[in-house]
Amino acid sequence: MQLKKTQRPRNIRRQLAAATCTLLAGTTHAGSLIASGDNWKIDSALLIYAEKDRVSLAEGVLNIRKEIDDDEFINARIVTDVLTGSSPNGAVPSNTAQTFTNPSGNSSYTEAANTTPLNHTFKDLRNALSVEWDTPFSRSLRGTLGGNISREYDYLSTGISVSLAQDINQRNTTLTLGISLNKDTWDPVGGVPVGFTAMPAFPAKKAIDGAKTDKTVKDILFGVTQIINRQTLMQLNYSRGQSDGYLTDPYKILSVLENDGSGNLRGTNPYVYENRPDQRTHQSLYWKGVHQFHNENVLNVSYRYFWDDWGIQSHTVDLRYRFDFDGGHYLQPHLRYYQQGAADFYRQTLTDGEENTLSYASADYRLGEFVTQTIGLKYGFEFKNGAEINFRAEMITQKGKDRSADAVGILQNQQLFPDNEAYLLQGGLSLDSDMVIKYIMGFFKK
Amino acid sequence: MPGLERKADYFVGHFDAMASNCEVLIDTEDENLAQEITRLAAAEVCRIEQKYSRYRDDNVLHQINQGAITRVDEETARLLDYAQQLYQLSEGQFDVTSGVLRQAWHFDGSDKIPTTARIDTLLPLIGWGKIQWHHPHIQLAKGMEIDFGGIGKEYAADRAALNISTFIAGQSDTHAQNTAALVNLGGDLAVTGPRKNGHGWQIGVTSGTSTLSLPAVDFSLKQGGVATSGDANRYLEKDGVRYGHVLDPRTGWPVEGAPAAVTVIAASCTDAGMLSTMALLHGPAAEDFLREQSVPYWCQWHNREIVERTPYP
Amino acid sequence: MFSRLSALSVTLLFVFAVPAFAVEPAPDFTLPTFPDDREISLKDFRGRVVYLDFWATWCPPCRKSFPWMDEMHERYKDEGLTIIAISVDKKRELIEQFIKKTEPAFIIAHDPSGKVAIAYELRAMPTTYLIDRDGQVVMTHMGFRSSDKDKLEATIQSLLEK
Amino acid sequence: MLKTLLFSTCIALALSACSLEPVQPWDRDLLAQQKMQLVADPLEIYLDEHTYFSKEASSGGQSVGGGGCGCN
């Protein structure tokens, strides 16, 4: 019954090794290599933003994107930022020193003559989390559901958003519809001031309308993205948003001048709290084009026209041009030009009695007429495994319209719009390799 | 419950599984790390034992062996694919369906040789080709059974070593990342890599027969695995003929003139195990087969009662 | 026995239920292969079941299908399955880099101009055409999701058994 | 007036889409690159939007969602 084996044994070692490799690795050797990059993506960035003599901000962002099923993603973003420094309080400079009460009402501070009065109490830590679930409904329709929460010591913002993207025209055109709803709560230091009431001289207390107040913001967006050719695509969005509730800045005040054209602050109650409408509807048209030239450089340019029923109109042009070099290096200059007109109720100062006749007024420089210009350069390096490291440096200047000719009396010699200059430094790191994720997991396990 | 023992510059973790004394040698002086690695290895080996033990009635193997159509999980599917490849590579000599022969053969040193008629009743129940295996579904004919006994221990050793490697790679400090380990499941062993000092692990092979007092063979292993097949103490003897325990699934009878035991070093413990098993199945040509594979091996023959070996390259 | 039945029923469902999958002859083509730069024609594989896949290195689901195609190749090559993966990448180097990393065991062909893609009226990346032993396209499948694997494999099995 | 403008822009875009030669699936190599995405570096855009949100009266336009802040 024995089987005679006479033929020479075959060499099977290599085939056996390949089979064993498949058995042990849990997948073919190709599998472990490919699955990695498509599954996890971690992006992180650290931003340092510093204004000359004003606020400084350090902001860290961590973004984790994971493919949980085919084409279905969970995206989570964690942001922490620390803000320190001072911000214009709305009052105009004067030829004498000025004294203001802190928002808490527990102390006061004095600003020297001929300087823009700043509120020095800003020191804030913000933590924000947003999570998005992005899933396909069919081969041409996908949806995104998002939620976000952001917490500062005096501000809480929560929101949800939903958007749908439908591909048509052989996937050359994508129609987007998005809506979002945000509910924000102010818990300002010292309570919510009553608009147009006087900022009392310490130790008197300001008139307040409760400790907390809130607002809701609803947005809707329609977009069309069109592939123009193999190298070009464009996007056009129309969006409309409505804010309701407390839209005033509880820390901003206005200087009230004497009625005599002297430009002097009035003798009693020289400062009043600002007061804005409790509703705002804004709209914007946004266009963006991305084009790749034959030398593989990419131009990314956008234009936004924004207008609202407060009378603000703005134009924003943003331009980024990416030069690719051999070996994964790239350089990307960035230019941005922003020009805005003032809100109808923007006033640099009030004159005595005006607070009783006007419905709204604010001296917040952000509602005034100004131009912001940004110039920056980014350097990036893409590793062969898909990771990327990048740095950028930018300079931002903000310049208001010179209104000294309209100013009265002694104010003609003052810089009424608080021009600003800021520097931005950012470092970023993106990873999407399995090894690194394992490393990080191991680190957290420790 | 795994135990841990401190040696000169490494730890040894102990646990019992797969009817063997199992140990893990861990090249570290960090007791917590050694503990964790031992626990990891024990967990993996026990998991595989439970999943593929033929003595249990609550696992996937039992379900398959009931003859029902079974949709199997990925791991089982890989094992079945592997079994199929082994069947093809060995031209039918290695067959995971041959376990039913145990019903006729009891290698207890006695002279109870089964009758040809008895063997012939079992032969229709043997043969990979009779199985319906279409990933991920399997169905066996009534009376057939699958037994991963010939693969299980080696597979478990490799899986445990692989899990340890993954765990080590995930460690954050460099000390832990340099840790190497050796998994030894009753003589089937796998290493995760060379020791910290860059040298291999010193391994001794002793003769399988108690009557012999041959010097142990020492060698150093940096990568891969080692496995031994065969057991000189399992045989039947009748009318002066010795029936070895290595059965040819195609005939149902022992392979004539097979070595008592074969030890092989290969890229993985599983590879080593399959090569040593196939060598046994080649009977007197076992060494021809091993030389053709150009792997280091040790071969122990009954008749000559010596261990021949190929020097470790 | 079980899987043969279920595979067949799956295929029938597709042949009859969706007109887009109606049987029609697969257009023949001749393309260079990677990495050995041979020329292959579809007609050379008459008598075998052909899994014809259009892919590109820049397409994530395409990349994701490679380990699975390797598995299918390994599992069914002896039963008569041929996998031809046609890359529509413009640049050769991209394919070279990719296959150096993944070492697929099946056939990789190159169609940089998309002429074969046009002949097959490709509408998405990736698209798979299952061609039976008589050279008829039996199934057209767009995209690659994990959940598609069972259906594709069942169709492959049924075509191999025909 | 504005609605008319918007409407006509949409029509123009739709018409241009019809007259454009569609880019075929196999020709999307460049469009698949990260640097060709509308938002090529999402974190950079997020940080920019956050910065300008707190310094200017306009915001949004690119997408919906994201959070507000009481920024200064």
pLDDT tens digit string along B31-72? Answer: 889 999 999 999 999 999 998 998 888 888 998 998 888 888
- Cβ under 8 Å to C: D residues 3-62: 24-29, 32-33
CB A334, CB A323: distance < 8 Å: no
- Mean pLDDT, to the nearest integer, of A44-59? 94
Higher pLDDT among residues A193 and B210, named by residue: A193
Contact A282 D38 (CB under 8 A): no
pLDDT digits (tens, 9 = 90+) for B123-173: 999 999 888 888 778 889 888 999 998 899 999 999 999 989 888 888 878
**How many helices (H) and strands (E) are present in chain B, helices listed first?**
8, 16
pLDDT in tens, A244-303: 999 999 999 999 999 998 889 998 999 999 999 999 999 999 999 999 999 999 999 999
Chain B: partners with 3+ C-beta pairs within 8 Å: A, C
How many domains does chain A fold into? 1
Q: Which whole number is the average pLDDT over A185-195?
A: 94
pLDDT, position A35 = 39
- Higher per-residue confidence, A174 vs A401: A174
Task: Tell me if A148 sits within 8 A of D65, measured CB to CB.
Answer: yes
Q: Is A340 on the interface with D (CB under 8 A)?
A: yes
Q: What is the mean pLDDT of residues A71-91?
A: 92
The answer to whether the Cβ–Cβ distance between C75 and B132 falls below 8 Å is: no
Please, what is the angle between helix B269-281 and helix B286-293, to 10°? 140
Confidence tier at B313 by pLDDT (50, 70, 90): very low
> How many Cβ pairs within 8 Å bridge chains A and C?
45
Report pLDDT digits (tens) over C94-134.
Answer: 898 888 888 888 999 999 999 999 999 898 999 999 999 99
- pLDDT tens figures, C43-69: 999 999 999 999 999 998 999 899 899
Where is pLDDT greater, at B279 or A442?
Answer: B279
Which residue, among A28, A66, A139, would best test binding to C if mutated, counting the most C CBs under 10 Å from its CB? A28
* CB-based contact A71 C61, cutoff 8 Å: yes
Q: Does A35 touch chain B (CB under 8 A)?
A: no
Chain D neighbours among A 274-333 (CB < 8 Å)? 282-286, 288, 290, 292, 298, 300, 302, 304, 306, 308, 310, 312, 314, 316, 322, 324, 330
- Which two structure tokens, joined as six digits, stand for A6? 């006479």
- The helix or strand, by DSSP H or E, that contains position C107, with its residue range, turns out to be strand C107-110
| End-to-end CA, chain A | 62
- Interval A157-166 mean pLDDT: 96
Query: Under an 8 A CB cutoff, do D58 and A184 touch?
Result: no
Q: Report yes or no on C23 lying in a domain.
A: no
Q: What interface predicted TM-score (ipTM) does this complex get?
A: 0.64
CB contact under 8 A, A220 and D64: yes
For residue A139, the distance in angstroms to the closest alpha carbon of chain C comes to 8
Domains: count for chain C: 1
Q: Is the pLDDT of residue A358 over 50?
A: yes
Q: Which two tokens stand for residue A247?
A: 């839209």
Exposed e or buried b per residue across A181-215, where buried means at least 16 C-beta atoms within 10 angstroms of its C-beta: ebebbbbbebbbbebbbbbeebeeebebeeeebeb
Q: Is residue C154 part of a domain?
A: yes
Residue A2 lies in a domain: no
Residue A308 belongs to some domain of the structure:
yes
B292 touches chain C (CB under 8 A): no
Residue A238: predicted pLDDT? 97
pLDDT at A423 > cutoff 70: yes
Of A300-304, A435-439, B186-190, B213-217, give the lowest mean pLDDT range.
B213-217
Q: What is the pLDDT of residues B258-297, one digit of tens each?
A: 888 888 888 899 999 999 999 999 988 898 898 888 888 8
In angstroms, the CA D49 to CA A338 distance is 13
Q: φ and ψ at C121, to 5 degrees?
A: 50, 50
The pLDDT assigned to C77 comes to: 84
Sign of CA dihedral B300, B301, B304, B305: positive
DSSP state, residue B218: E
Interchain touch A–B (≥3 Cβ pairs closer than 8 Å): yes
- Exposed/middle/buried for residue D5 (C-beta within 10 Å: 0-12, 13-18, 19+): exposed
- pLDDT score recorded for residue A305: 97
Helices (H), A70-216: none
Assess if residue A3 is contained within a domain: no
φ and ψ at residue A21, rounded to 5 degrees = -60, -45
Q: Where does the pLDDT of residue A445 fall: very low under 50, low under 70, confident under 90, or very high at 90 and above? A: low
**Least confident range of A107-121, B21-35, B292-306:** B292-306
Give the pLDDT confidence score for residue A27 in this predicted structure. Answer: 40
Q: Which of C1, C2, C8, C77 to mutate to test the interface with B (most CBs of B within 10 A)?
A: C2
Distance CA A387, CA A385 (A): 6
SS percent in chain C: helix, strand, coil, step 5: 45, 25, 30
DSSP code at position B97? T
C-B interface (Cβ pairs under 8 Å ≥ 3): yes
Residue C8 covered by a domain: no
Residue B210: is its pLDDT beyond 80? no
Which residues lie closer than 8 Å to A122 by C-beta, 6 or more apart?
A55, A83, A84, A85, A86, A87, D72
| For chain B, percent of residues with pLDDT exceeding 90 | 29
Average pLDDT over residues B186-207: 82
What pLDDT is recorded for position C7?
Answer: 28
**Per DSSP, which regions of chain D are E strands?**
none
Chains C and A physically touch (3 or more Cβ atom pairs below 8 Å): yes
E-only strand ranges, A52-172? 56-69, 72-88, 98-101, 108-111, 118-136, 141-152, 155-168
What average pLDDT does chain B have?
A: 84
In a domain, A299, yes or no: yes
Q: What is the CATH number of the domain that holds A172?
A: 2.40.160.40
Domain with residue C68: its CATH number is: 3.40.30.10
User: Reduced to 3 DSSP states, what percent helix, strand and coil does chain B have, rounded to the nearest 5?
Assistant: 35, 25, 40
Nearest-angstrom CA–CA distance, A162 and A181: 9
Q: Do A141 and A124 meet the contact criterion of CB atoms below 8 Å apart?
A: no
- What are the tokens at A67? 């493919």
Q: What per-residue confidence (pLDDT) applies to B24?
A: 93
Q: What is the mean pLDDT of residues A81-85?
A: 91
**Chain D residue with the nearest C-alpha to that of A346:** D57
Query: What separation in angstroms does the CA of C105 have from each of A30, B308, C115?
Result: 10, 39, 25
pLDDT at A18: 83
**Which pair of structure tokens corresponds to residue A332?**
């990307």
Q: CB-based contact (8 Å) between D15 and chain A?
A: no
Which structural domain range is residue C96 located in?
Answer: 28-161
When pLDDT is cut at 50, 70 and 90, the band that residue B310 belongs to is low
Mean pLDDT, range A423-438, rounded to an integer:
79
pLDDT of residue A2: 43
